[in-house]
Amino acid sequence: MTKKTKQYFGTDGIRGAVGTAPITPDFMLKLGWAAGTVFAKKGGARNKILIGKDTRISGYMFEAALEAGVTAAGVDINLLGPMPTPAIAYLTRTLRAQAGIVISASHNSFQDNGIKFFSGDGSKLADEIEFAIEEQLEKTISTVHPRSLGKASRVTDAAGRYIEFCKSRVDSDLKFNGLKIVLDCAHGSTYHIAPSVFEELGASVTSIGVSPDGLNINENSGSTSPEKLVEAVLQEQADLGIAFDGDGDRVVMVDHLGNIVDGDEILYIIARDRRRQNIDFGGVVGTSMSNLGVEQALDALDIPFARSAVGDRYVMQELLKRGWSVGGESSGHIICLDKTTTGDGIVSALQALSAISSSQSSLAELVSKINKYPQSMVNVRIAESADVSASKKVQQAVSSVEAKLGSKGRVLLRASGTEPVIRVMVEGEDAAEVLMLAEELAEVVGNEVGAAA
Protein backbone atom coordinates (compact mmCIF):
# COMPACT_ATOMS: atom_id res chain seq x y z
CA MET A 1 0.00 0.00 0.00
CA THR A 2 1.40 3.41 -1.02
CA LYS A 3 1.95 5.77 1.90
CA LYS A 4 -0.18 8.89 1.64
CA THR A 5 1.88 12.08 1.40
CA LYS A 6 0.96 15.68 2.06
CA GLN A 7 1.11 18.26 -0.68
CA TYR A 8 1.38 21.38 1.48
CA PHE A 9 2.02 20.53 5.12
CA GLY A 10 5.62 19.91 6.15
CA THR A 11 7.00 18.88 9.53
CA ASP A 12 5.97 22.23 11.00
CA GLY A 13 3.08 23.63 8.97
CA ILE A 14 3.37 25.40 5.62
CA ARG A 15 6.26 27.78 4.92
CA GLY A 16 7.91 29.52 1.98
CA ALA A 17 8.76 32.78 0.24
CA VAL A 18 6.04 35.42 0.27
CA GLY A 19 4.42 35.76 -3.15
CA THR A 20 5.53 32.30 -4.25
CA ALA A 21 2.96 29.49 -4.12
CA PRO A 22 1.63 28.49 -1.69
CA ILE A 23 2.50 31.59 0.36
CA THR A 24 0.10 33.84 -1.56
CA PRO A 25 -3.10 35.70 -0.58
CA ASP A 26 -5.33 33.54 -2.77
CA PHE A 27 -4.00 30.33 -1.24
CA MET A 28 -4.41 31.72 2.29
CA LEU A 29 -8.02 32.61 1.52
CA LYS A 30 -8.69 29.03 0.45
CA LEU A 31 -6.67 27.59 3.34
CA GLY A 32 -8.77 29.57 5.79
CA TRP A 33 -11.94 28.29 4.17
CA ALA A 34 -10.65 24.70 4.06
CA ALA A 35 -9.59 24.76 7.72
CA GLY A 36 -12.81 26.47 8.76
CA THR A 37 -14.86 23.84 6.94
CA VAL A 38 -12.97 20.95 8.56
CA PHE A 39 -13.24 22.38 12.06
CA ALA A 40 -16.87 23.39 11.60
CA LYS A 41 -17.67 19.70 11.12
CA LYS A 42 -15.86 18.82 14.35
CA GLY A 43 -17.26 21.55 16.62
CA GLY A 44 -20.59 22.27 18.25
CA ALA A 45 -23.31 24.81 17.47
CA ARG A 46 -20.88 27.74 17.17
CA ASN A 47 -17.25 27.28 16.23
CA LYS A 48 -14.27 29.54 16.82
CA ILE A 49 -10.71 29.75 15.49
CA LEU A 50 -7.97 32.02 16.84
CA ILE A 51 -5.54 33.80 14.52
CA GLY A 52 -2.25 35.27 15.70
CA LYS A 53 0.90 36.36 13.89
CA ASP A 54 4.46 37.50 14.33
CA THR A 55 5.70 40.95 13.32
CA ARG A 56 6.62 40.48 9.67
CA ILE A 57 4.88 42.86 7.26
CA SER A 58 3.15 40.16 5.21
CA GLY A 59 1.25 39.03 8.29
CA TYR A 60 -1.36 41.77 7.77
CA MET A 61 -2.09 40.53 4.25
CA PHE A 62 -2.37 36.88 5.22
CA GLU A 63 -4.39 37.65 8.35
CA ALA A 64 -7.03 39.37 6.20
CA ALA A 65 -7.10 36.52 3.69
CA LEU A 66 -7.43 33.84 6.37
CA GLU A 67 -10.15 35.87 8.11
CA ALA A 68 -12.17 36.01 4.90
CA GLY A 69 -11.80 32.29 4.30
CA VAL A 70 -12.62 31.16 7.83
CA THR A 71 -15.70 33.40 8.13
CA ALA A 72 -16.92 32.24 4.70
CA ALA A 73 -16.97 28.72 6.16
CA GLY A 74 -19.27 29.91 8.94
CA VAL A 75 -16.68 29.95 11.73
CA ASP A 76 -16.06 32.83 14.15
CA ILE A 77 -12.58 34.32 14.57
CA ASN A 78 -10.74 35.80 17.53
CA LEU A 79 -7.87 37.98 16.28
CA LEU A 80 -4.89 38.06 18.67
CA GLY A 81 -2.52 40.36 16.77
CA PRO A 82 1.24 39.88 17.19
CA MET A 83 1.70 37.05 19.69
CA PRO A 84 4.33 34.33 20.25
CA THR A 85 3.49 30.96 18.72
CA PRO A 86 3.27 29.21 22.12
CA ALA A 87 0.89 31.97 23.32
CA ILE A 88 -1.51 31.02 20.56
CA ALA A 89 -1.32 27.38 21.64
CA TYR A 90 -2.17 28.42 25.21
CA LEU A 91 -4.99 30.80 24.25
CA THR A 92 -6.52 28.27 21.87
CA ARG A 93 -6.89 25.95 24.83
CA THR A 94 -8.11 28.45 27.42
CA LEU A 95 -10.52 30.27 25.10
CA ARG A 96 -12.01 26.90 24.11
CA ALA A 97 -11.41 27.39 20.38
CA GLN A 98 -11.52 24.56 17.86
CA ALA A 99 -8.12 25.57 16.52
CA GLY A 100 -5.43 28.23 16.53
CA ILE A 101 -3.67 29.57 13.43
CA VAL A 102 -0.21 31.14 13.62
CA ILE A 103 1.06 33.30 10.75
CA SER A 104 4.82 33.03 11.08
CA ALA A 105 8.02 31.78 9.49
CA SER A 106 9.68 31.39 12.89
CA HIS A 107 13.41 32.22 12.69
CA ASN A 108 13.39 33.04 8.94
CA SER A 109 13.74 36.59 7.57
CA PHE A 110 10.78 38.81 6.66
CA GLN A 111 10.77 37.64 3.02
CA ASP A 112 9.31 34.31 4.18
CA ASN A 113 6.10 33.50 5.96
CA GLY A 114 4.08 30.45 6.85
CA ILE A 115 1.17 28.94 8.70
CA LYS A 116 1.11 26.71 11.77
CA PHE A 117 -1.99 25.17 13.32
CA PHE A 118 -2.82 24.13 16.86
CA SER A 119 -5.68 21.87 17.84
CA GLY A 120 -8.14 22.74 20.57
CA ASP A 121 -5.91 21.21 23.27
CA GLY A 122 -2.93 23.39 22.29
CA SER A 123 -0.96 20.66 20.49
CA LYS A 124 0.08 20.39 16.84
CA LEU A 125 -2.53 19.01 14.46
CA ALA A 126 -2.87 15.27 13.98
CA ASP A 127 -1.98 13.96 10.53
CA GLU A 128 -5.58 13.04 9.75
CA ILE A 129 -6.71 16.66 10.24
CA GLU A 130 -3.94 17.97 7.99
CA PHE A 131 -4.97 15.42 5.35
CA ALA A 132 -8.60 16.53 5.73
CA ILE A 133 -7.63 20.18 5.20
CA GLU A 134 -5.60 19.29 2.11
CA GLU A 135 -8.52 17.29 0.75
CA GLN A 136 -10.78 20.31 1.25
CA LEU A 137 -8.25 22.49 -0.60
CA GLU A 138 -8.97 20.49 -3.75
CA LYS A 139 -12.60 21.65 -3.71
CA THR A 140 -14.17 24.92 -4.86
CA ILE A 141 -14.85 27.53 -2.18
CA SER A 142 -18.51 27.80 -1.24
CA THR A 143 -19.84 30.42 1.16
CA VAL A 144 -22.37 29.53 3.84
CA HIS A 145 -25.73 31.32 3.96
CA PRO A 146 -25.26 34.99 4.96
CA ARG A 147 -26.99 34.45 8.31
CA SER A 148 -24.43 31.73 9.11
CA LEU A 149 -21.28 33.69 8.24
CA GLY A 150 -18.61 33.83 10.91
CA LYS A 151 -17.86 36.99 12.87
CA ALA A 152 -14.45 38.41 13.70
CA SER A 153 -13.54 40.05 17.01
CA ARG A 154 -10.27 41.11 18.62
CA VAL A 155 -9.01 39.74 21.94
CA THR A 156 -7.80 42.94 23.56
CA ASP A 157 -6.22 41.34 26.64
CA ALA A 158 -4.34 38.52 24.86
CA ALA A 159 -0.88 39.80 25.89
CA GLY A 160 -1.87 40.17 29.54
CA ARG A 161 -3.38 36.68 29.65
CA TYR A 162 -0.19 35.13 28.28
CA ILE A 163 2.10 37.15 30.55
CA GLU A 164 0.24 35.82 33.58
CA PHE A 165 0.40 32.28 32.20
CA CYS A 166 4.19 32.49 31.76
CA LYS A 167 4.63 33.78 35.32
CA SER A 168 2.48 30.94 36.64
CA ARG A 169 4.92 28.37 35.22
CA VAL A 170 7.35 29.00 38.09
CA ASP A 171 6.77 28.83 41.85
CA SER A 172 4.69 31.74 43.13
CA ASP A 173 7.34 32.65 45.72
CA LEU A 174 10.16 32.80 43.16
CA LYS A 175 11.59 36.28 42.66
CA PHE A 176 14.44 37.34 40.40
CA ASN A 177 15.25 40.39 42.52
CA GLY A 178 18.85 41.46 42.03
CA LEU A 179 19.20 39.56 38.75
CA LYS A 180 20.34 41.72 35.84
CA ILE A 181 19.16 40.36 32.49
CA VAL A 182 19.46 41.43 28.85
CA LEU A 183 16.64 40.25 26.57
CA ASP A 184 16.86 40.03 22.78
CA CYS A 185 13.39 39.67 21.26
CA ALA A 186 14.58 39.54 17.62
CA HIS A 187 12.13 42.35 16.72
CA GLY A 188 9.61 39.53 16.81
CA SER A 189 6.46 38.55 18.62
CA THR A 190 7.90 38.51 22.15
CA TYR A 191 8.81 42.22 21.99
CA HIS A 192 5.81 43.32 24.07
CA ILE A 193 5.61 40.17 26.21
CA ALA A 194 9.02 39.00 27.45
CA PRO A 195 10.21 42.27 29.09
CA SER A 196 7.03 42.43 31.19
CA VAL A 197 7.31 38.78 32.28
CA PHE A 198 10.84 39.11 33.64
CA GLU A 199 10.35 42.60 35.08
CA GLU A 200 7.20 41.54 36.93
CA LEU A 201 9.17 38.66 38.44
CA GLY A 202 11.65 41.16 39.86
CA ALA A 203 14.55 41.14 37.39
CA SER A 204 16.31 44.26 36.19
CA VAL A 205 15.80 44.06 32.41
CA THR A 206 17.57 45.68 29.47
CA SER A 207 15.79 44.90 26.20
CA ILE A 208 17.11 44.89 22.63
CA GLY A 209 15.38 43.75 19.46
CA VAL A 210 12.07 45.27 20.60
CA SER A 211 11.44 47.71 17.74
CA PRO A 212 9.73 45.70 14.99
CA ASP A 213 9.05 47.51 11.71
CA GLY A 214 7.77 44.55 9.69
CA LEU A 215 11.09 44.10 7.92
CA ASN A 216 13.66 43.57 10.68
CA ILE A 217 12.38 40.37 12.32
CA ASN A 218 15.35 38.07 13.11
CA GLU A 219 17.72 40.51 11.37
CA ASN A 220 21.14 40.10 13.00
CA SER A 221 19.35 39.43 16.26
CA GLY A 222 17.59 36.79 18.32
CA SER A 223 18.44 33.16 18.97
CA THR A 224 19.93 32.56 15.50
CA SER A 225 22.25 35.61 15.70
CA PRO A 226 23.08 36.22 19.37
CA GLU A 227 26.23 38.29 18.75
CA LYS A 228 24.53 41.58 19.70
CA LEU A 229 23.22 39.96 22.85
CA VAL A 230 26.74 38.87 23.79
CA GLU A 231 27.94 42.47 23.35
CA ALA A 232 25.05 43.85 25.41
CA VAL A 233 25.58 41.38 28.27
CA LEU A 234 29.26 42.32 28.53
CA GLN A 235 28.58 46.04 28.17
CA GLU A 236 25.81 46.04 30.78
CA GLN A 237 27.78 43.68 33.03
CA ALA A 238 24.61 41.62 33.25
CA ASP A 239 24.23 38.28 34.98
CA LEU A 240 23.01 36.68 31.76
CA GLY A 241 21.23 37.25 28.46
CA ILE A 242 18.25 35.56 26.85
CA ALA A 243 17.48 35.53 23.12
CA PHE A 244 14.25 34.41 21.46
CA ASP A 245 13.52 33.82 17.80
CA GLY A 246 10.93 35.73 15.80
CA ASP A 247 7.93 33.71 16.93
CA GLY A 248 9.10 33.01 20.46
CA ASP A 249 9.29 29.22 20.50
CA ARG A 250 13.11 29.06 20.68
CA VAL A 251 15.56 30.36 23.25
CA VAL A 252 19.33 30.52 23.67
CA MET A 253 21.16 32.17 26.56
CA VAL A 254 24.43 34.00 27.19
CA ASP A 255 26.33 33.78 30.49
CA HIS A 256 28.00 36.73 32.23
CA LEU A 257 31.29 35.93 30.49
CA GLY A 258 29.72 36.22 27.04
CA ASN A 259 29.55 32.50 26.29
CA ILE A 260 26.53 31.31 24.28
CA VAL A 261 24.45 28.62 26.00
CA ASP A 262 22.52 26.57 23.44
CA GLY A 263 19.45 24.37 23.65
CA ASP A 264 21.40 21.25 24.64
CA GLU A 265 22.87 23.04 27.64
CA ILE A 266 19.53 24.58 28.64
CA LEU A 267 18.01 21.08 28.56
CA TYR A 268 20.75 19.87 30.90
CA ILE A 269 20.19 22.77 33.33
CA ILE A 270 16.43 22.13 33.47
CA ALA A 271 16.81 18.36 33.84
CA ARG A 272 19.51 18.69 36.51
CA ASP A 273 17.29 20.98 38.58
CA ARG A 274 14.30 18.66 38.31
CA ARG A 275 16.44 15.74 39.44
CA ARG A 276 17.81 17.82 42.34
CA GLN A 277 14.26 18.56 43.46
CA ASN A 278 13.18 14.93 43.01
CA ILE A 279 10.63 15.91 40.38
CA ASP A 280 9.67 12.91 38.25
CA PHE A 281 10.14 13.81 34.58
CA GLY A 282 11.21 10.41 33.22
CA GLY A 283 14.18 11.41 31.12
CA VAL A 284 15.35 13.79 28.40
CA VAL A 285 14.74 13.55 24.66
CA GLY A 286 17.30 15.23 22.43
CA THR A 287 17.88 14.80 18.71
CA SER A 288 20.48 13.23 16.48
CA MET A 289 22.26 16.61 16.61
CA SER A 290 22.43 16.84 20.41
CA ASN A 291 26.00 17.06 21.69
CA LEU A 292 27.54 13.86 23.01
CA GLY A 293 28.93 15.80 25.97
CA VAL A 294 25.40 16.67 27.12
CA GLU A 295 24.36 13.02 26.88
CA GLN A 296 27.36 12.06 29.02
CA ALA A 297 26.63 14.81 31.56
CA LEU A 298 23.04 13.58 31.90
CA ASP A 299 24.28 10.00 32.23
CA ALA A 300 26.53 11.08 35.11
CA LEU A 301 23.37 12.22 36.91
CA ASP A 302 21.68 8.92 36.07
CA ILE A 303 19.15 10.73 33.85
CA PRO A 304 17.96 8.64 30.88
CA PHE A 305 18.54 10.19 27.44
CA ALA A 306 17.04 9.30 24.06
CA ARG A 307 17.48 10.78 20.60
CA SER A 308 14.80 11.55 18.02
CA ALA A 309 15.04 12.82 14.45
CA VAL A 310 15.65 16.57 14.12
CA GLY A 311 12.45 18.59 14.49
CA ASP A 312 10.24 19.48 17.44
CA ARG A 313 7.46 17.26 16.06
CA TYR A 314 9.73 14.22 16.43
CA VAL A 315 10.93 15.28 19.88
CA MET A 316 7.29 15.56 20.94
CA GLN A 317 6.46 12.13 19.51
CA GLU A 318 9.33 10.54 21.43
CA LEU A 319 8.33 12.28 24.68
CA LEU A 320 4.74 11.09 24.38
CA LYS A 321 5.84 7.56 23.49
CA ARG A 322 8.09 7.34 26.56
CA GLY A 323 5.87 9.29 28.94
CA TRP A 324 8.69 11.80 29.61
CA SER A 325 8.25 15.55 29.96
CA VAL A 326 11.54 17.29 29.01
CA GLY A 327 13.04 17.42 25.52
CA GLY A 328 14.35 19.72 22.85
CA GLU A 329 16.84 20.65 20.18
CA SER A 330 20.27 22.29 20.10
CA SER A 331 18.64 25.24 18.33
CA GLY A 332 16.79 26.13 21.53
CA HIS A 333 13.38 24.62 20.87
CA ILE A 334 12.71 23.29 24.39
CA ILE A 335 9.59 21.36 25.40
CA CYS A 336 8.54 21.06 29.05
CA LEU A 337 5.31 19.07 28.96
CA ASP A 338 4.83 19.45 32.71
CA LYS A 339 4.55 23.21 32.13
CA THR A 340 2.88 23.66 28.74
CA THR A 341 1.83 21.80 25.58
CA THR A 342 4.43 22.96 23.08
CA GLY A 343 7.90 24.49 22.76
CA ASP A 344 7.92 27.87 24.50
CA GLY A 345 10.96 30.15 24.64
CA ILE A 346 9.81 32.28 27.57
CA VAL A 347 8.59 29.34 29.67
CA SER A 348 11.82 27.43 28.99
CA ALA A 349 13.95 30.44 29.93
CA LEU A 350 11.99 30.72 33.18
CA GLN A 351 12.74 27.07 33.97
CA ALA A 352 16.45 27.73 33.50
CA LEU A 353 16.31 30.88 35.63
CA SER A 354 14.44 28.97 38.32
CA ALA A 355 17.29 26.43 38.33
CA ILE A 356 19.87 29.21 38.61
CA SER A 357 17.97 30.82 41.49
CA SER A 358 17.28 27.64 43.46
CA SER A 359 20.82 26.30 43.10
CA GLN A 360 22.37 29.69 43.91
CA SER A 361 24.75 29.15 41.01
CA SER A 362 25.52 31.31 37.99
CA LEU A 363 24.60 30.20 34.48
CA ALA A 364 28.29 29.78 33.72
CA GLU A 365 28.77 27.50 36.76
CA LEU A 366 25.86 25.25 35.76
CA VAL A 367 27.08 24.96 32.17
CA SER A 368 30.61 24.13 33.38
CA LYS A 369 29.31 20.72 34.44
CA ILE A 370 29.12 19.80 30.74
CA ASN A 371 32.17 18.83 28.71
CA LYS A 372 30.86 19.68 25.24
CA TYR A 373 32.48 17.96 22.30
CA PRO A 374 33.61 20.01 19.29
CA GLN A 375 31.25 19.59 16.32
CA SER A 376 31.90 20.40 12.70
CA MET A 377 29.20 20.43 10.04
CA VAL A 378 29.63 20.71 6.28
CA ASN A 379 26.67 21.07 3.92
CA VAL A 380 26.99 19.19 0.64
CA ARG A 381 24.58 20.08 -2.16
CA ILE A 382 23.30 16.93 -3.84
CA ALA A 383 21.25 15.94 -6.85
CA GLU A 384 17.50 15.93 -6.10
CA SER A 385 17.16 12.15 -6.42
CA ALA A 386 20.45 11.20 -4.74
CA ASP A 387 20.42 8.51 -2.04
CA VAL A 388 23.50 8.78 0.13
CA SER A 389 22.69 5.52 1.91
CA ALA A 390 23.06 3.60 -1.35
CA SER A 391 26.70 4.59 -1.86
CA LYS A 392 29.17 1.94 -0.63
CA LYS A 393 32.04 4.42 -0.80
CA VAL A 394 30.19 6.85 1.48
CA GLN A 395 29.35 4.07 3.94
CA GLN A 396 32.97 2.90 3.94
CA ALA A 397 34.15 6.47 4.56
CA VAL A 398 31.70 6.83 7.45
CA SER A 399 32.94 3.57 8.97
CA SER A 400 36.54 4.74 8.63
CA VAL A 401 35.83 8.04 10.43
CA GLU A 402 33.89 6.24 13.17
CA ALA A 403 36.82 3.88 13.70
CA LYS A 404 39.19 6.83 14.11
CA LEU A 405 36.87 8.49 16.64
CA GLY A 406 36.09 5.32 18.59
CA SER A 407 33.70 5.79 21.51
CA LYS A 408 34.71 9.43 21.86
CA GLY A 409 32.85 10.76 18.85
CA ARG A 410 29.99 10.46 16.38
CA VAL A 411 29.28 10.80 12.67
CA LEU A 412 25.92 11.88 11.28
CA LEU A 413 24.79 12.26 7.68
CA ARG A 414 21.41 13.99 7.58
CA ALA A 415 19.35 15.07 4.62
CA SER A 416 17.92 18.58 4.98
CA GLY A 417 14.15 18.76 5.08
CA THR A 418 14.03 22.06 3.17
CA GLU A 419 16.73 21.91 0.48
CA PRO A 420 18.74 19.33 -1.54
CA VAL A 421 21.60 19.21 0.94
CA ILE A 422 23.28 16.51 3.01
CA ARG A 423 24.54 17.79 6.35
CA VAL A 424 27.78 16.04 7.25
CA MET A 425 28.41 16.28 10.99
CA VAL A 426 31.43 14.95 12.86
CA GLU A 427 31.81 15.23 16.62
CA GLY A 428 34.83 14.32 18.72
CA GLU A 429 37.31 15.38 21.38
CA ASP A 430 39.81 17.22 19.16
CA ALA A 431 38.45 20.24 17.25
CA ALA A 432 41.15 20.19 14.55
CA GLU A 433 40.68 16.46 13.90
CA VAL A 434 36.90 16.87 13.82
CA LEU A 435 37.12 19.62 11.21
CA MET A 436 39.55 17.63 9.07
CA LEU A 437 37.43 14.47 9.21
CA ALA A 438 34.23 16.38 8.40
CA GLU A 439 35.81 17.98 5.34
CA GLU A 440 37.25 14.65 4.15
CA LEU A 441 33.89 12.91 4.57
CA ALA A 442 32.04 15.78 2.86
CA GLU A 443 34.40 15.46 -0.11
CA VAL A 444 33.53 11.77 -0.45
CA VAL A 445 29.80 12.54 -0.23
CA GLY A 446 30.17 15.30 -2.82
CA ASN A 447 32.07 13.05 -5.23
CA GLU A 448 29.51 10.26 -4.90
CA VAL A 449 26.13 12.03 -4.78
CA GLY A 450 26.94 15.72 -5.28
CA ALA A 451 24.81 17.86 -7.57
CA ALA A 452 27.61 18.05 -10.14
CA ALA A 453 28.35 14.31 -9.99
Cβ atoms of 245 and 183 within 8 Å: the answer is no
Which one from 58, 106, 207, 308 is the annotated catalytic residue? 106
Nearest to 136 by CA among 218, 45, 60, 72: 72
HSE value, Cβ hemisphere, 13 Å, CA-based, for 272: 29
HSE value, Cβ hemisphere, 13 Å, CA-based, for 416: 15
CA distance 251 to 249: 7
Q: Does residue 348 have an active-site annotation?
A: no
CA distance 247 to 105: 8
Three-class SS of 98-151:
CEEEEECCCCCCCCEEEEEEEECCCCECCHHHHHHHHHHHCCCCCCCCHHHCCC
Ranges of beta strands (E only) in 55-179 are 76-82, 99-103, 112-119, 152-154
CA distance 34 to 247: 24
CA distance 350 to 355: 9
Cβ atoms of 247 and 193 within 8 Å: the answer is no
Active site residues: 106
